Amino acid sequence: MRNPWLATPDSPRAVRELVRASWARSEQASLDPERLSPPIEFSEDELRDYRLAHPLAGVLPVVRKLLVRDIEDDSGLVVAVGDARGRLLWVDGDAGLRRRAEGMLFVEGAGWSEAAVGTSAPGTALELDHGIQIHAAEHFNTIVHPWSCTAVPVHDPETRGILGVIDITGGLDAVAPHTLALMEATATAMESELLVQRLRSRGSRPASTRGTSPSTRHTLAVLGRDAGLLSDAAGAPPTTLSVRHTEILTLLAWHRDGLSAHELASLLYGDPDAAVTLRAELVRLRRALARVAPGLVPESRPYRLRERLDVDASGVLSLLDRGAHRVALSAYAGPVVPSSTAPGIEDIREEVATRLRASLLDDASADVLLDFARRDDRSDDVELWTACLRLLPQRSPKRAGVVAHLEQIERSLG
């Protein structure tokens, strides 16, 4: 049966091209625009177990904080999180509206892929792999025409594969101009939090009897610690490195194209002619890595790593590039190898700290900036504390403390 809302060559009705294409796919799937029957794909027990094991379960607090927390019972909005196949796993928000949505089986455990229900924000966002807003009659099924929705896919932060989708459903507020930007920011925050959780897990993984494969991806934690912690994704016991070995691996991971002996000696010792000392240290490093991470044993001419090594400091810069300031600040455990005097490490330490400060000053919210300013190494940063004062609302109770701190800095400088 043809969707009665589908534009025809002699119809004046204007339809967005992406909606027209989605309607065409829905018709090709032989869906009935007058009949809606989303499949219930989980029993209650199956849904509970599946949700507990799903990658997005660990970042639900981000969704609740950014989307659900401010939705009251009379908000007229429902927030849903689904998996990569469009199956709804969590539904929250306006209780009355959720009861109404049950009438079209917009419930936990139901399949809302495009193939199952036709054009809708969650299903079509997954089909197109980007955020989308579907207004009322743009839905393929006429039963859904009273509703509007905005949905955005959530990706794996490392592989970029789709993990699931977040959706807001309701009336016109669900497709307000700012809603799509809010949803995209929430998806980015979820992906960033996933990455941080993985980095932390790799850095504090419990002892295991599993061996280390040469092809296993490794992570090196260097923020706020002098002895780097080398972990792998396979779950082998993490390895604590000496300061010198931490410095060498950090420099080689930072300069992925490789370094000549003179370049590495200069970055490590401040002396390009310290080649003999460098070679002796590399012999010891190769011997140590051969036991725990053979894939990371450095090659020569130039010195470089055969396999990728993820350094937690790089992860912070990646989060900043994506605008995830709060998550980046949470991941920033301190300066890169704090006690190191190696010129190359000092440069990396300064780069990370400077970019973090500049990015937060430019774009972070008042609360995030204040969290950063309260760190010990920023207690005398007048520009930072002044920016906090400028961003805080006039009636914020935090302003008095910021003013008092600025006065304290002024007294100490005077």
pLDDT value at position 203? 58
Q: How far apart are CA 385 and CA 379, in angstroms?
A: 8
Please give the C-alpha separations between residue 58 and each of 140, 149, 187, in angstroms, as whole numbers: 33, 24, 13
Other beta carbons less than 10 A from residue 287's beta carbon? 10
- What angle in degrees, to the nearest 10, is found between the helix axes of 261-269 and 343-363? 70
**Kind and range of the H or E run holding 3:** none
Query: Which CATH number is correct for 204-359, 1.10.10.10, 3.90.550.10, 3.40.140.80, 1.10.274.50?
Result: 1.10.10.10
Residue range 33-43: mean pLDDT, rounded = 89
pLDDT value at position 411? 87
pLDDT digits (tens, 9 = 90+) for 318-368: 888 777 777 788 788 889 999 999 999 999 999 999 999 898 888 888 888
pLDDT digits (tens, 9 = 90+) for 361-403: 888 888 888 888 888 678 888 998 999 999 998 888 889 999 9
Domain boundaries, the chain: 17-201, 204-359, 365-414
Which of 123, 188, 159 has its CA nearest to residue 326? 188
Same CATH fold, 204-359 and 17-201? no
Residue for token pair 């932060």: 157
pLDDT digits (tens, 9 = 90+) for 176-189: 888 898 899 899 98
Is the peptide bond prior to 38 cis by the omega test (within 30 degrees of 0)? no
Point out which residues pair with 152 in neighbouring strands: 166
pLDDT digits (tens, 9 = 90+) for 194-220: 888 888 776 554 444 344 344 457 889
Residue range 148-161: mean pLDDT, rounded = 91
**Kind and range of the H or E run holding 80:** strand 77-83
pLDDT digits (tens, 9 = 90+) for 277-313: 888 999 999 988 888 888 888 988 899 998 888 898 9
pLDDT value at position 198? 83
Say whether pLDDT at 119 is over 50.
yes
DSSP state at residue 340: -
17-201 domain in CATH 3.30.450.40? yes
